[in-house]
Structure 1
Amino acid sequence: MARVVVITPHPAVDVTYNVARQVLGETVRVLRVRRRAGGKGINVVQVLRQLGVDALAVQPLGGAAGESIRRQLADDGVAAVNIDAAHETRTTVAVVDDLAHPTLYAEPGGSLGPQGWDLLLAAAAENCEPGGFLVIAGSFPPGTTPRQVASLVAAGRTAGAFVIVDARGPALVAAAGAGAHLVKPNEAELLEATGSADLESGIARLLEQGAGSVIASRGAAGLVLASSDGTRESQPGVPGVSGNPTGAGDATTAGLVAALVGGATLPEALRRAAVVGAAAVLAPTAGAIDPAHLTLLSERLEAHR
């Protein structure tokens, strides 16, 4: 099986508060608390494992929060390269009430620093392999430059890996400019990063920058694929799915990667990505799916088509 390396440049301890109703300016009683290792890349790794695909998790960690992530990954049996960071790993809090879209509070975290970046690049160069996959997912530490993002993409490409980047803002544009084989923003991130007024022009700009392919996630509306070779595909979302959408995009990435590892083409992988993303909506926290849901959701998507 092709090796999959997943880099989370800016990990976090993800805290989920379940409440009866989100109300600003008042004391809200928390009904349930969940704490877990998080960040988009770590979510991707966890879902990949539930799909039967092992992946190497690479991330900078610091302080007590970083140590808690280190322990959880070890307890879960996740192979990991943990880079020592000079700052405390951040925390994110999602407030979920099943009535409105979850509210997310994300700490800014600290910068990585030159030494940390050197270690991150070395980890990519040493662990990626020809025919394998490098997934770079999530936000980047404060102070990250477009050149640093591009160097991370270049490390994967030089090693012969297929590079997939799920990022936003200048990092997304930098990844496209560095020749990432695939960039996977959601529609809002794509429009913001490219300054485009519509989806098609935003996709065109990322392809012009140098991305091999663009997959734009549109939530319940599904996925759109466009490639530099002229390939264009649209994949509807699974109908009738409701729940907690936090982490659904990460699960979509994991479904896509799992399909590609299995030999699917990008257009073929879109369907699997949509199904796995829908399964994540049914899960209580990010980074989790119930594999038992996949067959039912796949059948529902086929009936809808």
Structure 2
Amino acid sequence: MILTVTPNPSLDRTYEVPSLDRGEVVRATGERVDPGGKGVNVSRAVAAAGRRTVAVLPLGGAPGALVADLLDAQGIEVAPVPVAGATRSNIALAESDGVLTKINAPGPELTPAERELLLDTVRRQSPGADWIACCGSLPRGLAPSWYAALVARAHAAGVRIALDTSGPALLAALRERPDVVKPNAEELAQAVGRPLATVGDALKAAEELRATGARAVLASLGADGQLLVDADGAWFGTASVDGVRSNVGAGDASLAGFLIAGGRGPEALASAVAHGAAAVRLPGSVMPTPDDLAPDAVTVTAEVPVDRPLREPAS
């Protein structure tokens, strides 16, 4: 069982549009409403793979009730934390050329009592979990050290923990030695305080996060592939992808694929790459099923191409 924690979930509306013309009436060609938030997406990908998952998340108001209903319909067990504020609603505009514009609301501010209830709910749901995946931004009311406290509690309970966040929350959590962290290129550059222009730059940055406390780093480099760096070495994974439709939730699908495959080594990296590549071929934040995967299109190597320029350098 994979337990996910999403401190700032959302109700996500995705509109597919031919192009985005500012100030004009734009007619959508497709529309989806999905439960959102990085941890929620991880649970959705785990469930799509036919595996058990429990999602812990604060929910409030009509949007929160709809999020719970949508997750239940996808076979995901929900451990809700009732909050007074309404769950945020986000909008994504996906253009036909692959460009995505997102409008993310801030979400409710959690009270001290709600913060403690969230931690206590994770504690009560942890027994029997193979992994806890803590994902996304922190809502108002949670200090950057909140994830660090959660990592410490998970380890005290003997549960492995994966962390997908950024900025001060990521840096604060490193001291508690999360089992794996999953930054994208921009988050990796932010964590080390310098731009990344090559795969080698990303490798060095991942090694620095390990030196700071992360036991493993799974770095998403967008169209350039993914890096895995742990105590046993470094691996680089790529997949050929035709017809990118939406990259919403692709990184979350990758993390789910990594954890489903055991969360360690090149085999888990291959699963992460396959899930991420499948996700970008699907609309909105639809998560891939096993039938969507193309494992034969994935290449994983221990010969990291350190001199290869990143197609999207991170600053």
Superposition map of 1:97-112 within 5 A: 97-112=95-110
Residues 91 and 106, structure 1, Cα contact 8 Å, conserved in 2: yes
RMSD between superposed Cα atoms in Å = 2.1
Find the aligned partners of 1:100 and 1:243 in 2 and give their Cα distance: 6
Superposition map of 1:78-89 within 5 A: 78-89=76-87
Match of 1:248 in 2: 250
Match of 1:168 in 2: 166
Q: Which runs of 5+ in 1 are unaligned?
A: none
Match of 2:295 in 1: 298
Higher helix proportion? 1
Cα deviation 1:210-255 (Å, max 9, x = unaligned): 111111101121111112x252111123344522111110110111
The CA deviation at 1:74 is 2.4
Match of 1:209 in 2: 212
The CA deviation at 1:150 is 0.8
Find the aligned partners of 1:74 and 1:246 in 2 and give their Cα distance: 21
Cα deviation 1:104-157 (Å, max 9, x = unaligned): 110011222211111111122222237721000111102421221211111211
Structure 2 residue matching 1:278: 3-state secondary structure: helix
Residues 145 and 173, structure 2, Cα contact 8 Å, conserved in 1: no
Relative to structure 1, the CA distance from residue 136 to residue 77 in structure 2 (aligned partners, 3 Å threshold; closer, same or farther) is same
The CA deviation at 1:266 is 2.6
Match of 2:31 in 1: 33
Match of 1:225 in 2: 228
Cα deviation 1:26-62 (Å, max 9, x = unaligned): 2212232211211111111111111121111100001
Find the aligned partners of 2:62 and 2:129 in 1 and give their Cα distance: 36
Q: TM-score, normalised by structure 1?
A: 0.91
Residues 259 and 269, structure 1, Cα contact 8 Å, conserved in 2: yes
Letter aligned with residue 258 of structure 2: L
Relative to structure 1, the CA distance from residue 186 to residue 62 in structure 2 (aligned partners, 3 Å threshold; closer, same or farther) is same
Task: Answer yes or no: is 1:276 the counterpart of 2:275.
Answer: yes
Residues 42 and 287, structure 1, Cα contact 8 Å, conserved in 2: no
Residues 98 and 245, structure 2, Cα contact 8 Å, conserved in 1: no
Letter aligned with residue 237 of structure 2: Q
Find the aligned partners of 2:300 and 2:127 in 1 and give their Cα distance: 39
Find the aligned partners of 2:78 and 2:9 in 1 and give their Cα distance: 13
Percent identical across equivalent pairs? 33
Find the aligned partners of 1:108 and 1:24 in 2 and give their Cα distance: 23
The CA deviation at 1:301 is 2.5
The CA deviation at 1:96 is 0.9
Find the aligned partners of 2:266 and 2:135 in 1 and give their Cα distance: 21
Structure 2 residue matching 1:144: 3-state secondary structure: coil
Find the aligned partners of 1:275 and 1:212 in 2 and give their Cα distance: 23
Find the aligned partners of 2:264 and 2:214 in 1 and give their Cα distance: 17
Match of 1:182 in 2: 180
Aligned residues: 297
Residues 124 and 155, structure 1, Cα contact 8 Å, conserved in 2: no
Residues 176 and 210, structure 1, Cα contact 8 Å, conserved in 2: yes
Match of 2:309 in 1: none
Cα deviation 1:148-168 (Å, max 9, x = unaligned): 121111121111111001111
Higher strand proportion? 2
Structure 2 residue matching 1:170: 3-state secondary structure: helix
Q: 2:114 aligns with which of 113, 116, 121?
A: 116
Structure 2 residue matching 1:146: 3-state secondary structure: coil
Deviates more, 1:80-89 or 1:18-27: 18-27
Residues 49 and 289, structure 2, Cα contact 8 Å, conserved in 1: no
Cα deviation 1:245-282 (Å, max 9, x = unaligned): 1111011011111101xxx7332200011001111111
